[in-house]
Structure 1
Amino acid sequence: MFLAASWCFGRYMWILPIITLVWLILSMGTTYGIAVALNHTFPDFPYISYTGVEVPERGIFTFSIAVTAIMLAANAEMRFLFVKEIFREKEMNKRWKDTNTAGLILGLISSFGLLLVGCFQVDVMKPPHYFGAFLCFVVAIVYLWLQTVITWKLRHVAQKQNDGKVWRAIRLFVWIFQILNSAASTILLILFSVSKTIYKLQRKADMGTKWDTLRDVFLLSTSTEWLLAFSIMVYVLTFIPGFKRLRDIKVKVTVDKGGGEKSGAIPNGDQI
């Protein structure tokens, strides 16, 4: 992922979060539009997964979600490398370096969960689909809060530098936005989980359907799922200021000539 991202964007890595968000919006809008146009789902308001159940939108849904998962993993990896370099320069202790590593692991797990959601359709393969949704949403919330803590530490370290009022203001804005976004995402996750559980239990008890008495709780669960997905994706935009500071990105390749001797590095791209 790092190799592909560095080759595609180089020092313009800050574009990656924007492309990730735009890709997701266009993809979800496309599958939703096709599903509604072909009467494969209802316009107001299905769960996200039910916009990719039937052909042809199912193939588009799987492909677009898989690409989104890969791009999210690339964002998580680049964020890790950026923070790693800052922590190296500032000689941070092992605890903060381990925190950064934990963030990368959580980001990759969440991306893998999204991949499961796209590859296993909810109508025929519920267990892996729901497991992927758990990884995608719940682990992502933990990731958001962890990155918010890391941003706080980066601000604390940067305050010792004289890098201008503009960058200090940007870091403060990013940190506050991350706090608000993480809090909103957490609330949305709780609302989604509770409302969906209530809807399923009441439907099993024959207390109504999504078209009558259970309409309100059903719409609450579906709308909060959509909002939660977009809230998590918008968080990625907060990586832009950090990625803009990347000037050189390089992939190093060494070749063993035999006998333990290694050749020189073969550059591919630029260097962080």
Structure 2
Amino acid sequence: MWWFQQGLSFLPSALVIWTFSAFIFSYITAITLHHVDPVLPYISDTGTVAPEKCLFGVMLNITAVLGIATMYVRYKQVHALNPEENLIIKLNKAGLVLGILSCLGLSLVANFQKTTLLIAHLCGAILTFGMGSLYMFVQTILSYKMQPKIHSKQVFWIRFVLGIWCGVSAFSMLICSSILHSGHFGNDLARKLHWNPEDKGYVLHMVTTAAEWSMSFSFFGFFLTYIRDFQKISLRVEANLHGLTLYDTAPCPVSNERTPLLSRDF
């Protein structure tokens, strides 16, 4: 049996590979058509102009679904391992809510380009990176609380380092972006797709975009740490029938049917 066939380990793997592919394909298309500069454009800039925005939107919508599925499986796993720990239960629920909000923001970023509806795009970016960072923080705390009995110390420290990486990137992006869009470097910079080294604020722009890419890669690394955990879990779906037909409303005892949520032959 291959490693990705064990449990649900293919979920975080598929999430990272698919999202990275979405970034790369959109980037290659955008620079080939000269829609963005090849050196460190904003990630969303590579999905602003057609045809790459179509690819970007479709692929990131699938990423959002994979993200919610991955975070839900993680939620169920932690709940099963610590059913009576009150603090862990609360943190686990908070993590799920934060993760879903982050995925919702990702879908907004993918479908509302900054040149089309800037407010929606910025709200999506704040949800994606803001809630995503908080999700990493909550999961790192959970890893700390569950070590060494359930989680190894190595896993906790890896997630802790990735969380610090994400926090530093987020702080750098927030500070530089705030200064860049303060009005001292021109107006409507949020919709600008091409930058020259001679432009005012070019250095701040480069730092901001580098921090955005860095933050995204910290997310990739964090979800890859789920692979080993997900090898030890599987989910099942249970169908409860309340009648022998789809139009009969009278209660009728019928045997329940249980099957794996995802077959190993998938």
Give TM-score, length-normalised by structure 2.
0.86
Structure 2: stretches of 5+ with no match in the other structure: 189-194, 244-248
Once the two structures are superposed, what CA deviation does each residue of 1:165-209 show, in whole Å capped at 9, x if it has no partner? xxx7xx221110100101110110010111112122232379xx7
Q: What are the within-5 Å matches in structure 2 for residues 91-170 of structure 1?
A: 92-158=84-150
Relative distance call for 1:11 and 1:268 in structure 2 (3 A) is: farther
Alignment partners' CA distance in 2, 1:85 and 1:265: 23
- Asked if 1:26 corresponds to 2:12, the answer is no
For 1:40, the equivalent position in structure 2 comes to 35
Alignment partners' CA distance in 2, 1:189 and 1:49: 16
Other structure's SS at 2:181 match = helix
Q: What amino acid is the match of 2:163?
A: S
Q: What are the within-5 Å matches in structure 2 for residues 170-209 of structure 1?
A: 171-201=152-182, 202-204=184-186
Q: Is the 8 A contact 2:48 2:113 kept in 1?
A: yes
Q: What amino acid is the match of 2:20?
A: I
Question: How many percent of aligned residue pairs carry the same amino acid?
Answer: 24
- Asked if 1:218 corresponds to 2:199, the answer is no
Alignment partners' CA distance in 2, 1:250 and 1:72: 19
What is the root-mean-square deviation in Å for CA atoms of aligned residues? 2.1
Alignment partners' CA distance in 1, 2:179 and 2:26: 27
Structure 1: stretches of 5+ with no match in the other structure: 1-8, 159-167
For 2:46, the equivalent position in structure 1 comes to 51
Alignment partners' CA distance in 2, 1:83 and 1:265: 27
Cα deviation, residue 210, structure 1? 5.1
Other structure's SS at 1:12 match = coil
Alignment partners' CA distance in 1, 2:72 and 2:118: 29
Other structure's SS at 2:147 match = helix
- Structure 1 runs of 4+ aligned residues shifted over 3 Å read 9-12, 258-262
Cα deviation, residue 33, structure 1? 0.6
Q: 1:64 aligns with which of 59, 68, 75?
A: 59
Give TM-score, length-normalised by structure 1.
0.84
Other structure's SS at 1:252 match = strand
Q: Is the 8 A contact 2:109 2:122 kept in 1?
A: yes
Judging by fraction of residues, say which structure has more helix. Answer: 1
Report the count of equivalent residues: 246
Q: Is the 8 A contact 1:254 1:262 kept in 2?
A: no
